[in-house]
Amino acid sequence: MNIQQINSEIAITDFLTNQGIQPAYKRGCDWWYISPARMAERTPSFKVNTRLNRWYDHGSGEGGKIFDLAMRLHRTATIQEVIQLLSGQTIASAATATLGMQPLGKKAKREAPAVTPAPSTGIKILEAKPLEDNTQLTNYLKQRGIRLQTAAPFCQAVSFSIGTKQYEAVGFANRSGGYELRNSWFKGSSSPKDITYIDRGAGTVCLLEGFMDFLSLLELQPNLKASASFLVLNSLAQLRKSMDVIGQHRQVLLLLDNDQAGRMASERLLRSELKCRDLSSTYQNYKDVNELLVAKPRQAKRLLQGLDAWKGAMRKSI
């Protein structure tokens, strides 16, 4: 596919859904979202007109077609990589029907999609092996502020296929045998989707949304490995199924994303009977722990200070 075909044949709402981004509400042909392209906001200001297939962000004054949006959301990817990413999407939603489109599988050559595809074109894991230094994958981790020695105990180099194409990504296994998969321009997961629980036998558990935040936390506080367990949701949608694990601990340290969904999840947990401590204020000007680590490595030490306050409680709860 070329850019013109992408803009005319792929619904923006489908692309956002495949990125895990859902509308806050719908009003006719206007679908409103919490902006995916800016810092967290409380009031949805990002509008997609499904009739025109155009987006407009009232907060930044920017708008355009799907390719413009994809380039903003995947800032580290090249134009060709974004073309490949969009060309590989499986399109199937109510918005597609509104635009009178057909699934891309009938006309487009598939490349790596941005998220887990539909079961008929799903990700097949071929091999998982230890990460090695000086490879594209470990260089990608370095760009995210993660050293090989931090990632190696928890991540692998995973080869996988989508149709006849083969790819490689950093893989982070969940408790059901699926993988979260990341490289410099790919973000996806293999089935089954589930949480990852790293049980250290501690009374304290650190709750995070994604494994990059988990690895970033260990970069900042490596001693936590000896004093706390870790629960990585791999998606906020997994929070409900994680409650049995969370409930096994005497203390829960919340390090969820600084967006509307993350804040709402933290607020629900803080109102529950669980003993929770919200530490998101230590990275309040950033979306998550990894964004702080990458943007301001020195300022990231603030996170250490925030966690130091709970060291004593952690040691007592082991």
Would 3-106 and 196-317 be classified into the same CATH topology?
A: no
What pLDDT is attached to residue 111? 38
Least confident span in 36-40, 42-46, 83-87, 231-235: 36-40
Pairing of strands 123-129, 62-64: unpaired
pTM of the model: 0.64
User: Structural domain boundaries of the chain?
Assistant: 3-106, 121-189, 196-317
Span between the terminal Cα atoms of the chain, in Å = 55
The pLDDT tens digits for 122-157 are: 688 999 999 999 999 999 999 999 999 999 999 999
What is the crossing angle of helices 301-308 and 211-220, to 10°? 80
What pLDDT is attached to residue 75? 66
Number of H helices, E strands in the chain: 13, 15
CA distance 203 to 200: 9
What pLDDT is attached to residue 58? 86
Report helix, strand or coil for 37. Answer: coil
HEC secondary structure over 67-125: HHHHHHHCCCCCHHHHHHHHHCCCCCCHHHHHHCCCCHHHCCCCCCCCCCCCHHHCEEE
CA distance 217 to 24: 30
> Mean pLDDT, the chain, as a whole number?
81
What pLDDT is attached to residue 175? 96
Q: Is the pLDDT higher at 164 or at 106?
A: 164
CB 60 within 8 A of CB 37: yes
Dihedral sign of CA atoms 178, 12, 51, 29 in order: positive
Architecture of the structural domain at 3-106? Alpha-Beta Complex (3.90)
The pLDDT tens digits for 95-123 are: 333 333 333 333 333 333 344 443 333 68
Report helix, strand or coil for 138. Answer: helix
What pLDDT is attached to residue 21? 79
Letter string b/e over residues 294-303, b meaning 16 or more CB atoms within 10 A of that residue's CB:
beeeeebebb
The pLDDT tens digits for 20-46 are: 678 889 999 999 998 887 655 678 889
Rg of the chain over Cα atoms, rounded to whole angstroms, equals 20
Mean pLDDT of 229-253: 93
Q: Is the pLDDT higher at 209 or at 317?
A: 209
What pLDDT is attached to residue 112? 39
Residue 232 has pLDDT above 70, yes or no: yes
CA distances from 273 to 20, 155, 175, 259 (A): 29, 33, 26, 23
What pLDDT is attached to residue 89? 47
Residues contacting residue 106 through CB under 8 Å, at least 6 positions apart: none
The pLDDT tens digits for 275-306 are: 999 999 888 888 899 998 888 766 666 555 65
What CATH number is given for 196-317 in this structure?
Answer: 3.40.1360.10
Q: Which residue has the tokens 């800016």?
A: 38
What pLDDT is attached to residue 9? 87
Task: State the pLDDT confidence band at 164, using cuts at 50, 70 and 90.
Answer: confident
What type of residue sits at position 175? R
What pLDDT is attached to residue 217? 93
